[in-house]
Amino acid sequence: HVDMDAFFASVELRDQPELRGTPVIVGHLGGRGVVTSATYEARKFGIHAAMSMTQAQRLCPNATVIEPNHEKYEEVSERLQEIYLSMTPLVEPLSVDEAFLDVSGSRKLLGSPIEIGEKLRSKVFAEENITCSVGIAPTKFVAKLASTRAKPNGLLVVAPNEVIDFLHPLPVGALWGVGGKTEEVLKRLGIFKVSDIA
């Protein structure tokens, strides 16, 4: 699983490199505006996607706010798809900034999954000047969890014999499909970690 790091914000920082290392929020200003992306510097203040812009600006008043440019993000996303397809024809896009790649048939040509993951990360950075995180695992579900744990700008491998040890200590909220409300219900039932579910 490959996932761009703070995708919209990273694309904006390419055009405004002087903002690198500072808190940047991408989102619509105004009463009902929400955060669509935030740099990791902004996230340190508790800012996250889908948060109201009013709350985000309250948490970090010094953050630079940039209006989203979805056309630009789509163009970058299309070029990212070409990079994925240069690694394997088996690409399953999840959104503009993430995808699953089955690289099992690419090993003879491109090397081990780790080598392919590193080549992918290098190519994304060389061609688009943004970073991504890669999770390598025997299933898509575990690969997605691994890429999240590798963020930002990392690569994490979960071998088949490591899956249980990797999953069990994770908080239930890490599971795909467990949102805030479901997590609250599970915690009320005394279920805090994946191991509790198991």
Q: Which two tokens stand for residue 147?
A: 């890429």
Beta strands in 96-163 (DSSP E): 98-101, 132-136, 155-157
d(CA 92, CA 70): 21
d(CA 47, CA 25): 8
Give the three-state DSSP class for 171. Answer: strand
Helices and strands (H, E) in the chain, number of each type: 10, 8
d(CA 187, CA 181): 10
Sheet holding 35-38, edge to edge: 35-38, 24-27, 64-66
Active-site residue numbers? 98
